[in-house]
Amino acid sequence: MAIKLNLKTTLIPVEIGEFKFEINMTDEKEKAFQVKLNEFLKQAEQLNETNLEDEEKLHTMITQMYDELLGAGAFDQLYAHTPNVGILLGVFMELVTEFSKEVRSRVLPNSVLKIVDKKPKKPVTKVTNKK
């Protein structure tokens, strides 16, 4: 008897509104994206929303992140439809959250995820008041 197992593809389909993209997530690309995402988050925390120069920096930064994850020109397509960096930033953060879940589910089988997600119970300790 042969053991037959299916291999999952590295392509992850993404739909944002009417737009369709694919993320080809190899190990190398995943690591590189994680580094860039961490840099982006650090830089974004330092920006001042009311400063016009910082708004332009944010626009450039979010453009780079969309294009890194979804492919060149992805941000421009979305921005042409919804010309608001704040909205697209929110969508990007949702995308990152869902993307992380998808990558995690592809890497770890559900049986392993259940074990990993279980939080160890803290032992009950009795506190006594000594005088």
24, containing H or E segment: strand 19-24
Picking from 66, 59, 69, the residue whose alpha carbon sits closest to that of residue 23 is: 69
Helix (H, G, I), strand (E, B) or coil at 28: helix
| Mean pLDDT over each residue of the chain, to the nearest integer | 83
pLDDT confidence of 19, banded at 50, 70, 90?
Answer: very high
pLDDT at 56: 87
pLDDT at 5: 82
Contacts 24+ apart (CB under 8 A), 73-82: 74/19, 74/21, 77/19, 78/16, 78/17, 78/19, 81/17, 81/18, 81/19, 82/17
Residues of the chain above pLDDT 70, percent = 79
pLDDT at 83: 96
pLDDT greater than 90 at residue 63: yes
pLDDT at 114: 59
pLDDT greater than 70 at residue 50: no
